Chains A and B, each alone.
Chain A
Amino acid sequence: MTSDTFATIRTSLLGLTGLACLAYALAALVLGRPDPVGWYWPASIGTAAGLLISLAAVMAGRARAGQATDDLYRHVHQRAATQGYWLSLVTLAVTGAAGAFGWIDWRTAFAAQGTLTGAGFLLSFVWLDLRHR
């Protein structure tokens, strides 16, 4: 497996996890309940993605995985963390206001905010990674 293939697998899995988190959050907000599907789905998908990325890293080998985790990866990761931080502050204001005004209950706001925080970072990472290709 080349470092490019490993990086593509990693980005794809992080993107799928981000989309799953976003879908869960939107479903929670639209349906007005903290568990629009099983509550364990976002965590399960994230854990499975982590395991698959680890497996891909082992298959690629230390050198290839290291190549794909270089300066550019760290740069993209850092920028995604920054974007994710600001996105989570924005969504916190929205979910906090929705909870405070009684539009959704606090448990739903908590579930939506938790998954939106994950989605913000993960989808920012994928967006920035694709822009640097």
Chain B
Amino acid sequence: MAGLVVHLEARRRAAGLTQADLAEAASVSRKTINTVENGVFVPSTLLALRLAQVLGCSVHDLFELE
């Protein structure tokens, strides 16, 4: 999505997790993680918060405005 910068992949890799691991921990599908990382799908506030919680960081560490 234009205007949104996604750092999810970098954060996930830094945490040593695969897409499947993160999907499992956040109770979503691996496809969802993949589409969020590629900027194809913008997650809901709830999912963004859950991803941040799983990765132990703030939502702003995962997503920021361009």
Which A residues are closer than 8 A to B by beta carbons?
A: 3-4, 7, 63, 66-68, 70-73, 75, 132-133
- Flag if A75 contacts B41 (CB, 8 Å): yes
The residues of A that contact B46 with a CB separation of less than 8 Å are 71
User: Total A-B pairs in contact (CB under 8 Å)?
Assistant: 42
Query: How many residues of chain B have a CB within 8 Å of chain A?
Result: 16
- Flag if B40 contacts A132 (CB, 8 Å): yes
The residues of B that contact A70 with a CB separation of less than 8 Å are 27-29, 32, 47
- Inter-chain CA distance A73–B35, complex, in Å, is 12
Q: How far is the CB of B62 from chain A (nearest CB, A)?
A: 15
Which B residues are closer than 8 A to A by beta carbons?
A: 23-24, 27-32, 34-35, 40-41, 43-44, 46-47
Main SS of chain B's interface residues? helix
Main SS of chain A's interface residues? helix
- Flag if B29 contacts A67 (CB, 8 Å): yes
Name 10 A/B residue pairs within 8 A (Cβ), A-sorted: A7-B29, A7-B31, A66-B27, A67-B23, A70-B28, A70-B29, A71-B28, A71-B46, A132-B35, A132-B40
Partner of A4, one of B27, B31, B35, B44: B31
